[in-house]
Structure 1
């Protein structure tokens, strides 16, 4: 069975580091991470920050929560106001930035921080609770990506891109992470952005792999979906479409669709995008 139709670029735009694909308001949003831009799938610029923008999640009271620059920020819907909530890297011993982030079905926001350059183990994962409190929940990471959650929020998947690993965690009602197990290993590429579909299967973009993986809940690799770009970075599913961001950064000779945001039809349904705040 063919799960994904023919790929096409969303537009002529090419991004150095497209990331953070999310279903939103019947369409999609994504980021040009290093440029600090939040972009809608019609090409409109929703926000343009002066720091890197890793990813956003919608807020129940409007606007977005963002993993950006050195920490967490609130962005309004109009594209103007930015409210910085926390600087998480003020005590960092090496140059770092925020990376991927997502809301879970209980209204919490989870975001990773990663180093610039070769500094293994200096990255970490934080959780922003509904009351605004922030907890550092995992240390010793290098390039955390995702996370992605099951539809009921009881399972979290986190990619450690530098190690080619995806780890599965049980999530307690209070957000504590329990029982980590290796969910999947990739030897020839790096698992990057992820999403869980309506059937409970995990999709992972494979940086350097020209493909997506779709895993069953037990970790079995069920589908390999080729992508006409070397560095797929994130995935979103909605309304019979799949959107995949890609990147040109680090490529000596980018191909015609490297850096493009790609879209195709799909027979797989997504789940509603979780919102921060409940």
Structure 2
């Protein structure tokens, strides 16, 4: 395997999440910094908006309005020319924080959520519980979709728009669904079982492989359908999210941090956006 060395594009973040490549810039959330940023390949960073209840997943409606997850109040917010508004309130559907999100070509947003009290589970005082993705229509209507999942996290949609693949962090697997125009997810099946890899953010390439950010591994992995590891890139810090982009689609952006703890993240500000050139370009959504 080729050895690749990453470089820092942005430093001094609290905790980066939800990266998306759009219009020549990487957009991302600083979850514990309560802001959404964009940055170009020269490292020029711009603040997009502040999110007091913690931002995470990002996406866009067909008209260009930005959708973003407000984690702690379980809302999907919409930022357009007339400012920020509540797009959909998911608090009646789910009990625990929302996390990542993907928006399809017609504007349906698919939103993950913890499904349990993560702090208690990390302390060994609880057990992970399954939950469902939530589909939010362009009009803001929301309903649960697909099969139960263990901590649904990063997602991709294939170039034909027909398949959604989601990372189950606590399930150590990638799960695929057939995607309908109405937003329903059917025919759930395991796309890849990942022994020893707990997937967080993911991004799809033109060969059909998926790059996976795996917390606690200090690496990102390129995985083929079925689970074969095609490549691994070692990092100094844990990586929680990744995204292919750049002008040719061959820049892999990796959001890393020295800690997941909220208090430590705010104090230490170890969060980075790191970049490395890869061989196969981006494909599909986002």
TM-score bucket (shorter structure) = 0.7 to 0.9
**1:249 corresponds to:** 260
Distance apart, 1:28 and its partner CA: 0.6
**1:14 corresponds to:** 13
- Distance verdict in 2 for CA 1:29–1:229, change over 3 Å: same
Distance apart, 1:122 and its partner CA: 5.5
Q: Secondary structure at the match of 2:12?
A: coil
Distance apart, 1:63 and its partner CA: 2.9
Q: Secondary structure at the match of 2:155?
A: strand
User: CA deviation digits over 1:226-252, x for unaligned, max 9?
Assistant: 233123333333323211112322499
Do the aligned residues in 2 keep the contact of 1:53 with 1:98 (CA within 8 Å)? Answer: no
**1:23 corresponds to:** 21
Distance apart, 1:112 and its partner CA: 0.8
Q: Secondary structure at the match of 1:261?
A: strand
- Distance verdict in 2 for CA 1:123–1:34, change over 3 Å: farther
Query: Which residue, 142, 148, 157 being the options, matches 1:134?
Result: 142
Structure 1 unmatched runs, 5+: none
Distance apart, 1:209 and its partner CA: 1.1
Give the TM-score of the pair, scaled to structure 2: 0.82
Distance apart, 1:139 and its partner CA: 6.2
**1:234 corresponds to:** 242
- Distance verdict in 2 for CA 1:192–1:237, change over 3 Å: same
Distance apart, 1:182 and its partner CA: 1.7
Q: Secondary structure at the match of 2:244?
A: strand
Do the aligned residues in 1 keep the contact of 2:68 with 2:78 (CA within 8 Å)? Answer: yes
- Distance verdict in 2 for CA 1:100–1:246, change over 3 Å: same
Do the aligned residues in 1 keep the contact of 2:203 with 2:211 (CA within 8 Å)? Answer: yes
Query: Which residue, 218, 222, 228 being the options, matches 1:214?
Result: 222
Aligned equivalents of 1:227 and 1:46: distance in 2?
Answer: 28
Structure 2 unmatched runs, 5+: 122-126
Deviates more, 1:44-53 or 1:105-114: 105-114
Deviates more, 1:218-227 or 1:142-151: 218-227
Paired residues for 1:42-53 under 5 Å = 42-53=44-55
Do the aligned residues in 2 keep the contact of 1:158 with 1:166 (CA within 8 Å)? Answer: yes
- Distance verdict in 2 for CA 1:172–1:215, change over 3 Å: same
Query: Which residue, 245, 263, 266 being the options, matches 2:278?
Result: 266
**1:75 corresponds to:** 79
User: CA deviation digits over 1:85-134, x for unaligned, max 9?
Assistant: 22212465x5x211000112443211112244336326431112234432
**1:103 corresponds to:** 103
Deviates more, 1:110-119 or 1:187-196: 110-119
Aligned equivalents of 2:101 and 2:137: distance in 1?
Answer: 13
Aligned equivalents of 1:140 and 1:121: distance in 2?
Answer: 9
Aligned equivalents of 2:77 and 2:264: distance in 1?
Answer: 35
Q: State the structure with bigger RCO (CA 8 A, min sep 6), 1 or 2.
A: 1
Aligned equivalents of 2:208 and 2:196: distance in 1?
Answer: 25
Paired residues, number? 267
- Distance verdict in 2 for CA 1:91–1:206, change over 3 Å: closer
- Distance verdict in 2 for CA 1:54–1:11, change over 3 Å: closer
Give the TM-score of the pair, scaled to structure 1: 0.84
Aligned equivalents of 2:182 and 2:269: distance in 1?
Answer: 43
Do the aligned residues in 2 keep the contact of 1:101 with 1:111 (CA within 8 Å)? Answer: yes
